[in-house]
Amino acid sequence: MTRIDEIAPGLYRISTMLPGQAISFNQFLIDDERPALIHTGMHQLYDTVRRAIAQILDPKRLAYVVVPHFEADECGGMGRFVAEAPEAVLVCSDTGAQVNLGGWDYSGPVQGAREGDVIDLGSHRLCFLETPHVHHWDSMMIVEEATRSLFPADLFLQPGEQPPVVTENLGIEMCAVYREVGIFPARKPVLDVADRFDELDLAWVHPMHGGSLPAAVAQGYMAALRTEPFTFAGKLFGRPLPAYRAEDTVLAY
Ligand SMILES: [Fe+2]
Ligand SMILES: [Fe+2]
């Protein structure tokens, strides 16, 4: 159900495929002097994610738990991972710290990240990109410099159980999932991020659902985002909302 694979030096993908789910749930562990966990999985995945981490390092050593936006699959384990590790700090976007953690049932340490902020893990460095409305107000992405990796959370997902590294272009399928589930309100914030990829000089993209993509493969997914409809089309998880007509929303900006 859960597997762990080293995708790049010191960078591990912990992937869980739950029965009956259309997508996998991936967390990423960076093993370094100050280890980091990028997203935690849902509350109920805590034990399986913790066991996977323990194959590589003592979870008590986690220094950073990074939450790219506040949704259960990104943050459901945050309280317990931070509580167990005496040095751990929760890192989210500055907006996320203001609008979410300022008033939630969480009392651990928090660090809000803004565009350009950097966290040094030892031989890896996390650089933060503020990416509001991809797909939440508080969304951010993370670039790890040593492995030239982007952690885009839900952008670039692929449905189904995928191998640790995906070389197939499933961009059309990705856009179909986004339309059915209804997670992106508008095209422009997403395409603005896609337009920044060349300057980021990436080797890897590590979506939290599906497999990791070599940068050249990710180009095919970006092409699909530029040409296919993928925004909210009047449906949530495939359920049409009576107040919306798809033709009004599908090309919305
Ligand atoms: Fe999400
Ligand atoms: Fe997610």
pLDDT in tens, the chain (253 residues): 899 999 999 999 999 999 999 999 999 999 999 999 999 999 999 999 999 999 999 999 999 999 999 999 999 999 999 999 999 999 999 999 999 988 888 889 999 999 999 999 999 999 999 999 998 999 999 999 999 999 999 999 999 999 999 999 999 999 999 999 999 999 999 999 988 988 899 999 999 999 999 999 999 999 999 999 999 999 999 999 998 865 555 544 4
Collect residues with CB below 5 Å from ion ligand 1: 71, 154
Q: Measured between alpha carbons, how far is 99 from 210 in angstroms, rounded to an integer?
A: 29
Residue 14 contacts residue 49 (beta carbons within 8 Å): yes
Residue 165 contacts residue 219 (beta carbons within 8 Å): no
Residue 85 contacts residue 62 (beta carbons within 8 Å): yes
Residue 151 CA: which ligand is closest? 2
Taken in order of first residue, the domains within the chain and their CATH numbers are 2-249 (3.60.15.10)
40 CA distance to ligand 2 centroid (A)?
10
Q: Please give the backbone phi and psi of residue 3, each rounded to the nearest 5 degrees, phi first.
A: -130, 155
Q: Which residues pair with 66 in a beta bridge?
A: 38, 91
Q: Measured between alpha carbons, how far is 43 from 45 in angstroms, rounded to an integer?
A: 6
pTM over 0.75: yes
